């Protein structure tokens, strides 16, 4: 089911959502790290590495959205597209 409704959060709600997401990410990362130390089939090992990679990417995206908001770019306008990152990069004088 595809839900196209727009949801708006207050700054305080966004703050708590980020805390919850980061805590959950850390929980999953710890579980993945524990699994990495065990013996697995090749397929299982690839799946574990894929999840680790996915979580790292999600964590980076969350950090970038937070930074975009700090710079005054609203969360709804921040699409995560390369152009948005380039604008932020140029605005900071080339430092991310």
Is 76 in contact with 84 (CB distance < 8 Å)?
no
**pTM attached to this predicted model:** 0.54
The pLDDT score that the predictor gives to residue 96 is 36
Q: How far is CA 42 from CA 1, 13, 34, 50, in A?
A: 33, 41, 17, 12
- DSSP string of 48-94, one letter each residue: HHHHHHHHHHHHHHHHHHHHHHHTT--TTT----HHHHHHHHHHTTS
Token output for 23: 């805590």
* Domain residue extents for the chain: 11-91
* CA atoms of 75 and 72, how far apart (whole Å): 9
Instruction: Per-residue pLDDT tens, the chain, 96 aa: give them.
Output: 566 777 777 778 888 888 888 888 888 888 888 888 788 888 888 888 888 888 888 888 888 877 877 777 655 554 545 455 556 555 545 443
């Amino acid at each position: 089911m595809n839900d196209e409704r727009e949801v708006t959060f207050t700054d305080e709600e966004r703050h708590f959502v980020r805390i919850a997401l980061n805590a959950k990410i850390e929980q999953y990362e710890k579980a993945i790290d524990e699994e990495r130390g065990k013996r697995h089939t090749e397929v299982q090992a690839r799946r574990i590495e894929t999840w680790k990679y996915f979580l790292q990417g999600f964590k980076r995206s969350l950090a970038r959205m937070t930074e975009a908001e700090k710079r005054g770019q609203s969360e709804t306008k921040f699409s995560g597209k390369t152009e948005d990152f380039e604008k932020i990069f140029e605005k900071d004088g080339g430092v991310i």
